[in-house]
Amino acid sequence: MKTLHTVKAMSTILLFGLGIAINPATKAEDAPAATTNTGEEQAAWTPPPPPPDEFDWIQLNSGEWLKGEFKVLYDDSVEFDSDELGLLSLDWADIKQVRGATTFAVNIEGRDEVAGNLQVNGDQITIVAGEESQEFSRADVISIAHGAPKESNYWSAKFTLGLNISQGNSDRQDLNLALNTKRRTADSRFLTDYLGFYSKSDHIKTDDNHRLRSTYDIFKTRRFFWRPLLGEFFRDPFQNIDYQITAGAGAGYQLIDTSKTEWSISGGPAIKYTKFDTVEDGESKSESTPALWAGTNYDRALNSKMDLILGYSTIIGNQDSGGYTHHAIATLETELLSWLDFDTSFIWDHIQNPTRNSDGSIPDKDDYRFVIGLGIDY
């Protein structure tokens, strides 16, 4: 009898268990959700957005936020000044969001300049001025400039110095100096570049070369710009040029405009005036001529720290003024710090028809220079 009761109890337990297993009221969703080792079903954590304050904020595609001052957008490159990281150059394509704290001037293709508070979110740009809000496609933006009334916000500069001083059996002093300044607004650009070389060996001057060039551009589209002003001053007595002044105008076009590569061409008419250092008896001391000028600039980011910069400009006038002349420079720019660069440059100056000196000698047609220096960004 005891054995019979035991068998009945075990049968009841077994049937109860099977009932639970086959009960249609038991649903899979009633069971707790399974978790995976990768935690894919867990919501991704995101940091809170930055607070509204006096700083501009940008968010990179990686999700990182940077605090500082959004200075300018030109040629798909953003200059952003951070108190901790210094002046940064960022690819426009790498920026996901912008939250501007003050007024900005935005140049939109096919429209007049728009000013107001700047907000960028993905492919959309919003400009808020008072109670008015305007939205634009990010692809139509030509340039952005900080619109505060301070003139200093429109300017940037780079100063590069190379120096060699030796004493002993030979006393020698070599100095080369480069200064590049830019004033950029939403729809214009003013550039001034100076490049100079001065050398003495045993108290005798061996080099005295100076070139100052200014251009003013007005952007009509993302790629096309007018150049109503081009001016250049050049001096090199060793090329028998006391001074030479060129003034012209023209237009330009951006052949390549990506986050890594920029390539532009430009050209137009000009007038060139040359005063020679010395001439033979009976020859004119000066010469003026109508001319044509052309130029190209190529800038390629090799990696996050190194840029290759190529520049070429030519002026074609009559033979008495030198005929065809050109100035070509190739620079490898290496960033040491956010504000300090190490530059190596190769420079080639050419004059097709040099003017004879008073003693009848003819200057060489070509001058080559290899230059190294440290550059400071402002």
Q: What is the pLDDT of residues 95-135, one digit of tens each?
A: 999 999 888 888 888 777 788 899 999 999 999 988 889 99
In one letter, which amino acid is 71? K
- Residues 233/242, Cβ–Cβ less than 8 Å: no
Spell 87-110 as b/e; 16+ CB within 10 A means b.
Answer: beebebeebbbbbbbbbbbbbbee
Separation CA 368–CA 144 (nearest Å): 39
Confidence band of 164 (pLDDT split at 50, 70, 90): confident
CA 188 to chain centre: 15
Which distant-in-sequence residues (6+ apart) come within 8 Å of 27 by Cβ? none
Q: Shortest CA distance to 225 belongs to which of 192, 251, 186?
A: 251
- Residues 199/164, Cβ–Cβ less than 8 Å: no
Separation CA 246–CA 351 (nearest Å): 15
Separation CA 344–CA 371 (nearest Å): 6
Q: Is residue 229 packed enough to be buried (19+ CB in 10 Å), middle (13-18) or exposed (0-12)? A: middle
Res 180 pLDDT > 90: yes
Separation CA 275–CA 287 (nearest Å): 7
- Residue 363 Cα distances to 200, 285, 317, 325, 351, angstroms: 19, 16, 18, 14, 9
Separation CA 250–CA 313 (nearest Å): 13
| pLDDT tens digits, 226-272 | 999 999 999 999 999 999 999 999 999 999 877 788 899 999 999 99
Res 278 pLDDT > 90: yes
Considering just the CA atoms, what is the radius of gyration of the chain in Å?
33
| pLDDT tens digits, 54-82 | 899 999 999 899 999 998 887 788 989 88
pLDDT for 108: 85
- Token duo for residue 194: 């100076």
Which distant-in-sequence residues (6+ apart) come within 8 Å of 88 by Cβ? 66, 79, 80, 81, 82, 338
Which distant-in-sequence residues (6+ apart) come within 8 Å of 120 by Cβ? 95, 97, 98, 99, 126, 138
Q: Shortest CA distance to 260 belongs to which of 222, 307, 301, 306?
A: 301
- Owner of token pair 């340039």: 143
Which pTM does this prediction carry?
0.71
| Top-confidence residue, 160 or 8 | 160
- Token duo for residue 30: 């009633």
Separation CA 194–CA 177 (nearest Å): 8
Q: Shortest CA distance to 332 belongs to which of 316, 348, 346?
A: 346
| Residues composing the chain | 378
In one letter, which amino acid is 158? K
pLDDT for 27: 42
pLDDT for 298: 96
Separation CA 73–CA 79 (nearest Å): 7
